[in-house]
Structures are given as C-alpha cells and as structure tokens.
C-alpha cells in the first residue's frame, strides 16, 4: 500500500451555531488505498467530520487536506471531485428523469461532453452492474438498485476517495452482498461510516472509533471489535453469535 496520504486531518475542532461542540481536536491520517471504517454511537461526531472532508463544513480550528491539497474555499471544485460522498439515502442524490442523466449530471457540469461523456457514464454504470438500466427512471428501481446508481454518480467524477454513509442500511441480504462486491472491486481509498460492524470487518482492514467528538480508538478492525472494553465504552454491539476473531 502507498504511504502517500489520501487524507490528513490535524487538530480539527467544530462547534455548531447553537454552541454544541461536535468535534474536539480530531487528528487522523489515511493512506492512499486504505479502506477505513468510522464507527461510533449516534451523536459521536461522525457526520460532522465527514462534512469537513469536501468543504460542506469549514474547519473552525485545525485543518483538513486531501492528497496534500487544503480543503479551503479556493480548492473546493477540485476537492469535491476528489472526494465523493455517497449518502445513506440514495434519493438525496438522484433527481433526474433517467439513470443515465443522473450519472451524467456531475461530469457534464464539469465540462465533459459528447462521446467522452457517454463513455464516462457507461463505465460508471458498468462498475456497479447497472448498465442495463441506463434509460430507466430512478424511482422505478429498487432501493438497492438506487444505491448502486448513487455510487455510480460519484464514480463518474473519478474520485480519489469514496466516503460512504451507512452503505448497507435498509438492504436485503442479496443487496448487501452486491454492494460489498462493488466496493471490494474498486481501487479507491474508502472511508465508510457504519453501524454494521460485520460489514466494517468484511470491507475495512482498519477502523476508527469516535465518541463525544473525538477519535478514541484507531487500529485493525478485527482487534477493535474483539476489544470488549472499547466496545462497551463506546456503545458498540456485535450481532448475537458473531465472533470477529473467527469471521471472514
């Protein structure tokens, strides 16, 4: 794995306008090609952290850099190409009348046209196994299919980092497996926010645990999930009968 940093967060702190302090002096570094799970209870600060990665929220203290490019206003266009966010609800990303138009929207707005745009769309849909649905309205697709198209809309922008919010939520077992196969096939740096701990173990070799606005654990996912004290202190629970040391 490359030692080049895909993501570097140094001393990041953030308080919302109502005074709620959501992040406290967060430090983290992710190397290019790493797959990292971001775990923690509700309200831990995970979403607030993720929204700093492409400038949706601006650092009040500290810094964020993507491939050594600071996440500041003058770099937002390039940062938002490099960091692709896949939201928990695919309907937050799909708003056009066809799958093809949704996937084409980002690259078209970036100035890609004609045959090159067609090729970008085709490759993104092929990567998620949705090439046969290009002319279908997104609202006619199943939830799992819509999530795959949402991933394709991000892949069409050729990102360096894929940030996923609860990618396995609301999926049946087959849909959950299909998304896992897609994510495993991608040669990208990934940060995956999830409460699905077996999914984190299956897809991510490293895990970060957040609680009360700070990163409180960072290490191999299997070791973190097997640490009963860390799990209890941070309100993390494995499914009944699931043993991380024996899985996968």
User: Which pLDDT tens digit goes with each residue over 44-54?
Assistant: 999 999 999 98
Residue 48 included in any domain? yes
Banded pLDDT at 247 (limits 50, 70, 90): confident
Residue 97 backbone phi and psi in degrees, to 5: -85, -10
Contact 84, 158 (CB under 8 A): no
Residue 144 included in any domain? yes
Query: What integer is the mean pLDDT of 179-208?
Result: 96
Residue 244 included in any domain? no
Query: What integer is the mean pLDDT of 55-79?
Result: 93
CATH number at residue 165: 3.40.50.300
Residue 165 included in any domain? yes
Residue 150 included in any domain? yes
Mean pLDDT of the chain: 95
Tell the burial category of 15 from Cβ atoms under 10 Å away from its Cβ (0-12, 13-18, 19+): middle
User: Whole-model pTM?
Assistant: 0.93
Residue 30 included in any domain? yes
Nearest one of 189, 161, 184 to 1, comparing CA atoms? 189
> What's the domain count of the chain?
1
| Residue 87: per-residue pLDDT | 92
Residue with tokens 């897609």: 182
Polymer length of the chain: 248
Residue 177 included in any domain? yes
Domain of 107, in residue numbers:
5-233
Residue 247 included in any domain? no
**Adjacent-strand bridge partners of 215:** 210
User: Which pLDDT tens digit goes with each residue over 124-141?
Assistant: 999 999 999 999 999 999
For the stretch 202-208, contacts whose Cβ atoms lie closer than 8 Å and that sit 24 or more positions apart, written own/partner, are 202/247, 202/248, 203/35, 203/37, 204/35, 204/36, 204/37, 205/34, 205/35, 206/34, 206/35, 206/36, 206/37, 207/36, 207/37, 207/38, 207/39, 208/28, 208/36, 208/37, 208/38, 208/39
């Amino acid at each position: 794995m490359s030692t080049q940093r895909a993501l570097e967060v140094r001393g990041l702190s953030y308080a919302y306008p109502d005074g709620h302090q959501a992040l406290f002096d967060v430090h983290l570094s992710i190397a290019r090609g790493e797959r990292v799970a971001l775990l923690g209870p509700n309200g831990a600060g995970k979403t607030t952290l993720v929204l700093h990665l492409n400038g949706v929220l601006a650092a009040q203290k500290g810094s964020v850099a993507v491939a050594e490019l600071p996440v500041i206003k003058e770099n937002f266009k390039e940062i938002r190409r490099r960091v692709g966010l896949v939201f928990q609800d695919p309907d937050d990303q799909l708003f056009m009348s066809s799958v093809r138009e949704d996937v084409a929207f980002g690259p078209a707005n970036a100035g890609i046209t004609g045959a090159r745009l067609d090729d970008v769309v085709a490759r993104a849909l092929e990567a998620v196994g949705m090439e046969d649905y290009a002319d279908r309205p997104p609202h006619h697709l199943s939830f799992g299919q819509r999530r795959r198209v949402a991933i394709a809309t991000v892949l069409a922008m050729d990102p360096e980092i894929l940030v996923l919010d609860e990618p396995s939520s609301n999926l049946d077992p087959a849909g959950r497996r299909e998304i896992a196969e897609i994510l495993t096939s991608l040669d990208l740096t990934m940060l995956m926010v999830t409460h699905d701990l077996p999914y984190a173990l299956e897809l991510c070799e490293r895990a970060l645990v957040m609680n009360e606005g700070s990163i409180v654990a960072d290490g191999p996912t299997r070791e973190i999930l097997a640490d009963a004290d860390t799990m209890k202190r941070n309100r993390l629970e494995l499914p009944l009968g699931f043993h991380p040391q024996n899985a996968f």
